[in-house]
Amino acid sequence: MNSVYTVKQVNSYIKNMFTQDFMLNRIYVKGEVSNCKYHSSGHIYFSLKDESGTIACIMFAGARAGLSFRMQDGQQVIVLGNVDVYERDGRYQLYAREIVLDGAGLLYARFEALKKELGEMGMFAPEYKRPIPRYVNTVGIVTAPTGAAVRDIINVSSRRNPYVQLILYPAQVQGEGAAENIIRGIRALEKKQVDVIIVGRGGGSIEDLWAFNEESVARAIFDCAVPVISAVGHETDTTIADFVADLRAPTPSAAAELAVYEYREVRERMLSCVQAMRKAVYMKTTAWRAALERTALRLKFAHPRQKLNEKRQYAADLESRLRALMDTRMTDRKHRLALYVEKMKRLSPLEKLSQGYSYVQGPSGNVRSIEQVGAGDPLTIYVADGTIRTEVRSVAPIAYPGAENRQKEEP
């Protein structure tokens, strides 16, 4: 006994050998699944076996993204993982990171290779993508006549726009001759001059979808003069056809949504165009009518009758001003007249007569001087209450103190 080691030492020594091994760190192992158990923790425990033996395997819950199907006993799978030692049990096992079905694994490799090849050729380049026309009249469909895909496309399309013509090329989309069938469908619809082509099918395994990964199909889609929408499987299924198509739809229903415009929207757009035009014309005519009315008003003001009326009005104004002036003047005069009347009244001869004076009228009128009469001339004397007729007997001058000659009073 040279030296004695603990279990722990041996196990960790072995573990160290495993982890340092380049190949065991990343290894693909193929075999048949057995003793497969989905643990409640999310981990999956199983074994891989072939004719010669088995290897214990575990896929931790954290690595479950690497498994896209429900694993069952008896399946042929390829597991990618690393082989390591579980020290507690002193045994090694395969820690799985990705698990694919074996047949599919091969197809997957082919898929990757073709994708790389066509991608390098530029067949996926965006500059080759044709735009999908927004308003289509006819939509070509290449798919199985009996699948859910065609039903979905018809339903969505007729709901969105029942006036779009759908032309179905009933194609065999899986199995022997599917690729040739799909290609014939694309060519036939291209010849029919449809506006857009939907190529697709419902979901399935990678084998089911394989026709859409064929290079010949990819080329037919690439060469098609009509824009092509691919609609293969579910959202997570990606095929070469999706890369090469002008537009990739996640599902057949989505393809119909992308290809067929909503009728109601177009109706509304047309209506809004009508309204916009009506409104514009209405605004215009209203504006022009208003301008017309303004002009008419201006014209009316410019009419000679208007001028005439203005002059007439002016004349009337002048007249009334004149009248007013006259009125004030007249009142003024009337007042003055009344004053004069009053004055005159005081100067009246009758007044004088009543005061004892008399008025003497001779042959030559009012006698104011002795010169006017001679002896024998008749005189009429007016007194307050009547007249007296008499004759002149004689005349003689008289000198009044401080005055010239005055008419001689009657005797």
Partner 1 sequence: MAEKKKKQTLEEMFGQLETIIGELEADDVSLEKSFDLYNKGMNLLKECGKSIDEVEKKVLVLDEDGSTHEF
The answer to whether 75 touches 18, Cβ cutoff 8 Å, is: no
Q: Is 165 in the site for partner 1 (CB under 8 A)?
A: yes
- Closest approach, Cβ 193 to partner 1, in A, equals 11
Site membership for partner 1, residue 252 (CB under 8 A): no
Near partner 1 by CB under 8 A: residue from 284, 303, 334, 336: 284
17 near partner 1, rule: CB under 8 A: no
Task: State how far the Cα of 37 lies from the Cα of 33, in Å rounded to an integer.
Answer: 10
The 3-state secondary structure of the chain reads: CCCCCCHHHHHHHHHHHHHHCHHHHCEEEEEEEEEEEECCCCCEEEEEECCCCEEEEEECHHHHHHECCCCCCCCEEEEEEEEEEECCCCEEEEEEEEEEEHHHHHHHHHHHHHHHHHHHHCCCCHHHCCCCCCCCCEEEEEECCCCHHHHHHHHHHHHHCCCCEEEEEECCCCCCCHHHHHHHHHHHHHHCCCCEEEEEECCCCCCCCHHHHCHHHHHHHHHCCCCEEEEECCCCCCCHHHHHCCEECCCHHHHHHHHCCCHHHHHHHHHHHHHHHHHHHHHHHHHHHHHHHHHHHHHHHHCHHHHHHHHHHHHHHHHHHHHHHHHHHHHHHHHHHHHHHHHHHHHCHHHHHHCCCCEEEECCEECCCHHHCCCCCEEEEEECCEEEEEECCCCCCCCCCCCCCCCCCCC
Q: Which stretch binds partner 1 (CB under 8 A): 83-91, 122-130, 250-258, 273-281?
A: 273-281
Q: Which of residues 191-250 bind partner 1 (CB under 8 A)?
A: 191-192
Q: Could you tell me which stretch among 17-25, 161-169, 232-240, 315-323 binds partner 1 (CB under 8 A)?
A: 161-169
The residue within the footprint of partner 1, chosen from 13, 28, 128, 288 (CB under 8 A), is: 288
Whose tokens are 């857009």? That residue is: 196
- Residues 112-131, mask of contacts with partner 1 (x by CB under 8 A): --------------------
* Selected range binding partner 1 among 105-113, 221-229, 268-276, 361-369, rule: CB under 8 A: 268-276
- Under the binding rule (CB under 8 A), the answer on residue 148 touching partner 1 is no
**Is there binding between residue 146 and partner 1 (CB under 8 A)?**
no
The answer to the question of residue 168 lying near partner 1 (CB under 8 A) is yes
Q: Does 273 bind partner 1 (CB under 8 A)?
A: yes
Q: Does 276 bind partner 1 (CB under 8 A)?
A: yes
Residue 303 engages partner 1 in binding (rule: CB under 8 A): no
Of 269 and 393, which CB lies nearer to partner 1 in the complex structure?
269
Candidate ranges 209-217, 231-239, 264-272, 307-315; the one touching partner 1 (CB under 8 A): 264-272
* Cα end-to-end distance, the chain, whole Å: 215
135 near partner 1, judged by CB under 8 A: yes
Closer of 106 and 274 to partner 1 (Cβ):
274
From candidates 5, 163, 301, 400, binder to partner 1 by CB under 8 A: 163
Q: How far apart are CA 94 and CA 48, in angstroms?
A: 9
Is residue 270 within the footprint of partner 1 (CB under 8 A)? yes
Contact call for residue 281 and partner 1 (CB under 8 A):
yes
Q: Does 314 bind partner 1 (CB under 8 A)?
A: no
Rank residues 95 and 263 by Cβ distance to partner 1 and give the closer one. Answer: 263
Of positions 57, 164, 218, 249, contacts partner 1 by CB under 8 A: 164
8-state DSSP, 397: -
Q: Is residue 290 close enough to count as binding partner 1 by CB under 8 A?
A: no
Cα separation, 34 vs 256, in Å, equals 43
Q: Between residues 83 and 164, which has the closer beta carbon with respect to partner 1? A: 164
Complex with partner 1: residue 64 or 184, whichever CB lies closer: 184
Judged by beta carbon, residue 133 or residue 363, the one nearer partner 1 is 133
Contact residues toward partner 1 (CB under 8 A) are: 133-135, 137, 140, 145, 154, 162-170, 184-185, 188-189, 191-192, 263, 266, 269-270, 273-274, 276-277, 280-281, 284-285, 288
